[in-house]
Amino acid sequence: MIKILDFYADWCGPCKRQTPILEELETEFDGRIKVEKIDVDKSEPEVKTYQIMSIPTLVFLNENNEVLEKLIGLHSKAALSALIEKHSQDE
């Protein structure tokens, strides 16, 4: 299973637009991905660990919690779906 860390903030417009896309993907890829939302204003240790400088940022992790990919900015459903497929095949 791929874990996607969604670094966001409540005041971030692009973050708000990314959320429904991630929710749709989590439903469509049921059991293959898990999205974990991380509020950058409340999660300093994770922000430091993954060196988050901009939001939204998505960090794709494998089952061993190793970083597969890090994306900054708003991304389309098609682009994220393609990355999920790519990383699913790598496992």
The residues that are catalytic are: 12, 15
Q: What's 91's DSSP letter?
A: -
Residue-wise DSSP of 10-76: TT-HHHHHHHHHHHHHHHHTTTTEEEEEEETTT-HHHHHHTT--SSSEEEEE-TT--EEEEEES---
